[in-house]
Structure 1
Amino acid sequence: MSGALGLLTRSRLMSVSAEELGRQLLVERSGLRVILVRPADVPAYVDHGAADLGIVGKDILWESPGYHYELVDLCFGACRLVLAVPDASRLDGPETWPPLIRIATKYPRTATAWFEARGQAVEVVQLHGSVELAPQVGLVDGIVDLTATGRTLRENGLRVAGVLGASTARLIANQASLKTRTESVQSVVSKLREATGDDR
């Protein structure tokens, strides 16, 4: 959230801190309404017209392609979606994978597509938290999860065995809003682009 709030401040659209927000989920200032929702819910709010624009990680968009336009890479929140296996595992590249690999992840759609594109049979165990624990207790062969620095993986005896993709925050737009509220939406988009150094 700090990256998005910082971007709003730099773009001069709205200056608000996390402390000011407290537990508010809706903030209105200077004709701009900001809705605070869980990252995984942003595409739904934008796709269904409750919000004209949304700021969300690319990793969420991989899982929820939706009916929106992806407009700008906002260049913050950088991380990688990786395949990680226990340090002692023999699994490394595709040539070392068993006929059926079992993976735990919060990203089942993305993980399945990545393995299938490599001709690898995969069983995906969807978890919603503490994914790093799954290989330690023998639930799975490895995990697919986000990492920025790799520290959590290392602390849990895991190493990167593959990279599925890189994720940063993205600006998405409701298709109808972009067509019917063009001037006001494009004004916000332009200010956000300028604040990120994207001068298209």
Structure 2
Amino acid sequence: MIEVQNTLVHEDLIRENFVCNLNKCKGICCVEGDSGAPLEHAEKAILEAIYPTIKHMLAPRGIEAIEAYGTSVIDSDGDLTTPCVDGNKECAYVTFENGITKCAIEKAHEQGLVEWQKPISCHLYPIRITQYPEFDVLNYDRWSICSDACTFGRELKVPVYQFLKGPLIRKYGAEWYAELEESVRLGASS
């Protein structure tokens, strides 16, 4: 593990390569899984506030799920997540464009309708954060549906932490990211 400020970063984020390849996977990570996207507590209020603004961008099935369960839910593990269509299928905030998933929240952000980009857990994937009172642990989540992203990342020689530079800066700040890069550089030279 690499210590960066109040985080521990697993070495797999430096060693492993990853670049999303939506032409191959079609964004299946937004459709598969046992529950919705993990949410931070503050994101619950954001989803409640922006729902009226983004509702028109959602698929009818997504609207039905949100209106039945709420803009966020507690999953079977007791975690706060986005609601899913039919209980555990696609995220309620998913839209489809040319057979590829697109987050309606992110789409609204791109159009200037909302300031919030999307849940940080989605933006950071395949990094998953385990939060403790004094620090966060950042791990690489291996999922077979992302094999094309691993292959593409190896072809392009892009480590996970570099692919996710923007989301990592969004979460922890530019100073944190610069410290991570410095730690990686020093580790490579030793």
TM-score, with length taken from structure 2: 0.28
Larger helix fraction of residues: 2
Larger Rg: 1
TM-score, with length taken from structure 1: 0.27
